[in-house]
């Protein structure tokens, strides 16, 4: 047997530096987890079986250690959100002017060419955050692999704006803080998530709506409950003091037992997000892709009134359209297309696969890939993908591959 | 958490190729071919198995099919030469049998061997386990 692990390379962190671990490392070991290097962190890739974990999230609930993710806050001091607002509004391709405290939005940090530095969830910090002032006026969660890049980029952008004096008065008070040493995230995802939260004493009538965040207290632990996730299921991401992550993890697993909650590794996190057609930065989106090419136009306010980074390219693409697009496909053959496999149309190479795996729900190979064609493909169109010297037919389908009912 | 104990024994009627495929001797020049428990564990969740048809011939050392797991694709190399005389139809709907029970329910193809001497070129289970443990 000879194995190919096409996507293993870009998930590993810097080769020479030791891997970091989250406060849950020993708990994962006790659960029998297998580990993998991911973005410089030693993370659980699987506890039992990837497919079992995947199905547990779709039918019950799953608990994810995502304490490796980046967590950064922005404050403009003196209880005035205005400075932080002006800074972010001048950066991001999304209109933040109507954002209320406690609202979360999906957005991207872009280069001037509208390449994607990272995709993030940005929160306007809820009011009543007396438990911790560190969350400032806005905070964001970014990919673990990009946490330092995002922090450095934000600081550089802020310094440039402070130096040029444009709106400098308000921006002078803006500070950026890395919160990852003090706080960490867990994700509880799946149809039974609210039942489990109720079991640990959470007042579920206080549950935030989708893409909102609220402060709460669970067993004397102050935390933030965010109704967000990366699985295609309903659920929450919990932000808690790093020293309390282990206690919260254990309480959710123990008290969630009647609901068959399972710990979920990175392998199932990947199949879950792919089934939901959520792009993964580093695979499906990156510096050479714009949000419009990636099919993320829904998250943009291209023509918002305030200039932002990447504006010229986005406006142009929005107006004239793009030939390169991220498509979803299924393969009616027992072959999984892997990252880097070449996509053909009428025997001509037209693109490549960015993510490929099985959809456990459809029991079919699925994937995402960029295809560049003057006339866009439609659902039902057939392309060919070269998987290990074999051309297999793939059908273009609507994204997502799975939608919860 | 239920967890399968790592298999550290291989049935005595099994011989193993260095490429991790085994041949289980059934008698009358027939063998069942599969992959070792070690290999299945390395691959992780197996989701598809691509195999030849009954009547096809396979050549020792040549690829006769492939396995897709969630994380990777692997070619299968024939541990011995022969003609395919049966397929494990259970794998069609339950490829995870290779993960769960690689030496019994998780066999892949049954072959009538053309050269019994090829079996002598394979490792005993004990030697194979020494080999993978020393890696």
Interface contact flag, A2 B50, Cβ < 8 Å: no
- Cβ-defined contact of A4 to B74 (cutoff 8 Å): yes
Residues A191-243 pLDDT 10s: 999 999 999 999 999 999 999 999 999 999 999 999 999 999 999 999 999 99
* Residue A58 to residue A61: CA distance in whole angstroms: 7
**Spatial distance between the Cα atoms of A20 and A42, rounded to a whole number of angstroms:** 6
Position A80 scores a pLDDT of 80
Question: Which of B35, B44, B73 lies closest to A46 in CB terms?
Answer: B44
pLDDT value for A2: 67
Q: Which among B44, B48, B77 has the least Cβ separation from residue A1?
A: B77
pLDDT at B4 exceeding the cut of 60: no
Per-residue pLDDT, B130? 92
Longest dimension (CA), chain B: 46
Asked if pLDDT for residue B8 goes beyond 80, the answer is: no
pLDDT digits (tens, 9 = 90+) for A331-389: 998 899 999 999 999 999 999 999 999 999 999 999 999 999 999 999 999 999 999 88
Using the predicted structure, report yes or no on whether residue B38 has a pLDDT greater than 50: yes
Q: Taking 80 as the threshold, does the pLDDT of residue B1 lie above it?
A: no
Q: Return the axis-axis angle of helices A266-275 and A50-59, rounded to nearest 10°.
A: 50
* pLDDT of amino acid B133: 86
Distance between start and end Cα atoms, chain A: 40
Cβ-nearest to B1 among A47, A51, A338: A47
Contact A149, A118 (CB under 8 A): yes
CB contact under 8 A, B43 and A5: no
Q: Is the pLDDT of residue B27 over 80?
A: yes
Q: Give the gap in angstroms from C-alpha B3 to the nearest C-alpha of chain A.
A: 7
Of A1, A31, A48, the CB nearest to B75: A1
Residues of chain A positioned with their CB less than 8 A from the CB of B2: 48
Q: How far is B2 from chain A (nearest CA, A)?
A: 8
B3/A48 Cβ within 8 A: yes
Tell me which residues of chain A have a C-beta less than 8 Å from any C-beta of chain B.
1-6, 31-32, 46-51, 267, 271, 334-336, 338, 357-358, 365, 387-388
Report ipTM for this prediction. 0.81
pLDDT above 90: percentage of residues in chain B: 87
- Counting one residue from A and one from B, how many pairs have CB atoms under 8 Å apart? 73
> Looking at CA atoms only, how far is residue A367 from chain B in angstroms?
12
pLDDT higher than 60, residue B91: yes
Residues of chain A where predicted confidence (pLDDT) is lower than 50: 5-14
Q: Helix, strand or coil for residue A244?
A: helix
Q: What is the pLDDT of residues B110-119, one digit of tens each?
A: 999 999 999 9
ω into residue A200 within 30 of 0, thus cis?
no
């Amino acid at each position: 047997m000879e194995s190919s692990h096409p996507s293993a390379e870009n998930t590993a962190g810097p080769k020479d530096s030791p891997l970091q671990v989250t406060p849950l490392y020993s708990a994962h070991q006790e659960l029998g987890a297998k580990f993998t290097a991911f973005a410089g962190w030693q993370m659980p890739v699987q506890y039992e079986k990837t497919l079992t974990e995947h199905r547990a999230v779709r039918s019950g609930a799953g608990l994810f250690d995502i304490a490796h993710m980046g967590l950064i806050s922005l404050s403009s001091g003196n209880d005035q959100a205005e400075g932080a607002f002006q800074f972010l509004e001048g950066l991001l391709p999304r209109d933040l002017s109507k954002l209320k405290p406690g609202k979360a939005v999906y957005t991207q940090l872009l280069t001037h060419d509208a390449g994607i530095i990272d995709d993030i969830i940005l929160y306007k910090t809820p009011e009543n955050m007396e438990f911790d002032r560190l969350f400032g006026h806005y905070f964001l969660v970014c990919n673990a692999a990009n946490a330092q890049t995002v922090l450095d980029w934000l600081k550089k952008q802020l310094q440039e704006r402070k130096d040029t004096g444009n709106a400098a008065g308000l921006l002078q008070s803006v500070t950026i803080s890395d919160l990852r040493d003090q706080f960490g995230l867990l994700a509880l995802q799946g149809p039974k998530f609210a039942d489990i939260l109720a079991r640990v004493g959470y007042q579920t009538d206080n549950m935030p709506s989708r893409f909102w965040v609220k402060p709460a207290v669970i067993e004397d632990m102050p935390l933030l409950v965010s109704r967000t996730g990366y699985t295609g299921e309903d659920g929450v991401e919990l932000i808690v003091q790093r020293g309390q992550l282990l206690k919260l993890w254990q309480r959710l697993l123990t008290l969630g037992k009647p609901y068959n909650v399972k710990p979920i590794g990175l392998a199932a996190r990947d199949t879950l997000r792919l089934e939901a057609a959520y792009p993964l930065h580093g695979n499906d989106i990156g510096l050479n892709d714009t949000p419009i090419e990636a099919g993320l136009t829904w998250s943009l306010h291209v023509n918002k009134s305030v200039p932002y980074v990447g504006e010229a390219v986005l406006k142009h693409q929005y107006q004239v359209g793009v030939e390169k697009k991220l498509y979803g496909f299924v393969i009616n053959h027992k072959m999984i297309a892997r990252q880097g496999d070449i996509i053909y149309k009428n025997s001509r190479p037209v693109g490549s696969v960015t993510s490929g795996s099985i959809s456990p729900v459809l029991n079919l190979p699925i994937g995402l890939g960029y295809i560049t064609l003057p006339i866009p493909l439609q659902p039902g169109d057939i392309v060919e993908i070269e998987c290990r010297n074999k051309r297999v037919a793939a059908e273009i389908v609507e994204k997502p591959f799975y939608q919860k009912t | 958490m239920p967890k399968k104990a790592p298999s550290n024994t291989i049935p005595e009627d099994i011989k193993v190729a260095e490429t991790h495929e085994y041949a289980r001797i059934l008698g009358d020049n027939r063998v069942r071919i599969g992959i070792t428990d070690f290999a299945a564990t390395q691959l992780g969740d197996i989701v598809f198995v691509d195999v030849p048809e009954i009547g096809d011939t396979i050549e020792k050392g040549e690829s006769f099919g492939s396995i897709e797991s969630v994380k990777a694709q692997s070619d299968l190399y024939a541990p011995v030469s022969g003609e395919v005389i049966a397929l494990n139809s259970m794998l069609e709907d339950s490829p995870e049998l290779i993960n769960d029970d690689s030496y019994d329910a998780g066999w892949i193809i049954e072959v009538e061997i053309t050269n019994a001497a090829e079996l002598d070129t394979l490792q005993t289970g004990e030697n194979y386990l020494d080999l993978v443990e020393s890696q």
